[in-house]
Amino acid sequence: MEYKKLSLKNISANLFIYGTTHAVVDGICATVIFSILKNQIVSTTSFISMVILYNALAFGLQAVFGLATDYFKSPRATAFFGCVLTGLSAITFLFSPIIAVIFAGIGNALFHVGGGSISLNLTPKKASAPGIYVAPGALGLLVGTLLGKNGQFIVWPAILILAILCLLMFVIKKPEMNYEQEEIKENKFNYFEFILLLVLLSISIRSLVGSVLVFPWKTNIDLLFVLTGAVVIGKGLGGILADKFGWIKIAVGALVLSIPFLVFGANIPLLAIIGMFLFNITMPITLVAISNILPGRPGFAFGLTTLALILGVIPAFFSIRQILANNWLVFSIIIISALALYYGLRKYMLIYEQKKLVD
């Protein structure tokens, strides 16, 4: 079935609205959580438990919500309800922090799945749009964290901005959504599960690396903003570069190139920032690869990538974190991630080229 392509103007409008909302949603969630700490509403131990709960809900539930969104074919409604719950978290955190954290976690998961599903259908099978959609989240997290830690959160402007963005979601034309699922046949899609596991493994390993890297200079607010900007630009440019020059060349190449900067330049701001830029280029390619492997299930595909992210972070919560932070171990781990991604994408490309010939 052929789907009408949106105009560049409409694609840009969708990306602006959903990308901006992504930053606002992530920002509100971070602000709510750190405002709870700043206002000493709960003990430090309870706060740590709330952070773990939030991450489990926000990242762990996306695959489940993605399945539901795909079943009901309702990405915009999913994104909208995510915004509503996120807004409620900002209203409730002062008198019921645990409810606020639950609202924030579930709201974040719902919005990501809904907006992610739409972004995956803006430029079907390409990585450009999803990368631009995901990129602003890092900036939102940083700003939200600083506002929360400094006790500068004012609820009503955040709610107003979120309400305007929600309204705009229903004003702009969304893309035609592809929910046609292909039957997986062994003779057409050999090693389907193998490819899926390799790409998800690469995502998990990258998540682990990101959680154990230490940049001692991050206390400098100016450098922290530059670092976040590098992450945002890396994710936003990654998909565009990959679509133009080739997924394997850009994704695997950037990951390998990031190694010396991250492993041996962590104490030098310029080198580490370059490393994080290269490290994040890979993100949109892995997201779209998973989506293309699971045609017709954009919500579930998006959710699987975030599930891989949280699984990758788990070891960082234990004492093993100190061992994993060793430079040569980080070097080895990134190499494993790059190899998994290379073989996963290579096999994916071969299979889909064969599919084109058969079709």
pLDDT of residue 354: 61
Angle (CA) 349-340-121 rounded to 5° is 50
In a domain, residue 1? The reply is no
Single-letter amino acid code for the residue at 199: V
pLDDT of residue 180: 87
In a domain, residue 120? The reply is yes
222 and 296, same domain (yes or no): yes
In a domain, residue 331? The reply is yes
Task: Select from 137, 171, 205 the last residue of a domain.
Answer: 171
pLDDT in tens, the chain (359 residues): 455 678 899 999 999 999 999 999 999 999 999 999 988 888 888 999 999 999 999 999 999 999 999 999 999 999 999 999 999 999 999 899 999 999 999 999 999 999 999 999 999 999 999 999 999 999 999 999 999 999 888 899 999 999 999 999 999 999 999 898 876 555 555 577 889 999 999 999 999 998 889 899 999 999 999 999 999 999 999 999 999 999 999 999 999 999 999 999 999 999 999 999 999 999 999 999 999 999 999 999 999 999 999 999 988 777 677 777 788 888 999 999 999 999 999 998 887 666 554 44
CATH, residue 210:
1.20.1250.20
157 and 200, same domain (yes or no): no
**CB 109 within 8 Å of CB 65:** yes
125 and 233, same domain (yes or no): no
| Tokens linked to 322 | 């100190």
What lies within 8 Å, CB to CB, of 183 at 6+ separation is none
With 0-12 / 13-18 / 19 or more C-beta atoms within 10 angstroms meaning exposed / middle / buried, residue 316 is middle
322 and 218, same domain (yes or no): yes
**CB 158 within 8 Å of CB 28:** yes
Task: Select from 139, 171, 203 the last residue of a domain.
Answer: 171
User: DSSP assignment of 263-309, as one string?
Assistant: HH-TTSHHHHHHHHHHHHHTHHHHHHHHHHHSTT-HHHHHHHHHHHH
280 and 211, same domain (yes or no): yes
In a domain, residue 179? The reply is no
128 and 22, same domain (yes or no): yes
In a domain, residue 180? The reply is no
pLDDT of residue 185: 55
The DSSP code for 177 is: P
The boundaries of the domain holding residue 146 are: 8-171
User: In the chain, how many domains are there?
Assistant: 2
Kindly report the pTM of this predicted structure: 0.94
**175 in helix, strand or coil?**
coil
149 and 227, same domain (yes or no): no
223 and 335, same domain (yes or no): yes
166 and 227, same domain (yes or no): no
pLDDT of residue 186: 53
In a domain, residue 283? The reply is yes
Task: Select from 122, 142, 171 the last residue of a domain.
Answer: 171
What lies within 8 Å, CB to CB, of 201 at 6+ separation is 308, 337, 340, 344
Q: Torsion over CA of 288, 330, 325 and 227, rounded to 10 degrees?
A: -50
161 and 309, same domain (yes or no): no
81 and 227, same domain (yes or no): no
134 and 231, same domain (yes or no): no
| Tokens linked to 317 | 């919560």
In a domain, residue 257? The reply is yes
Longest CA span, the chain: 63
Least Cα distance to 80 among 1, 180, 169 occurs for 169
In a domain, residue 184? The reply is no
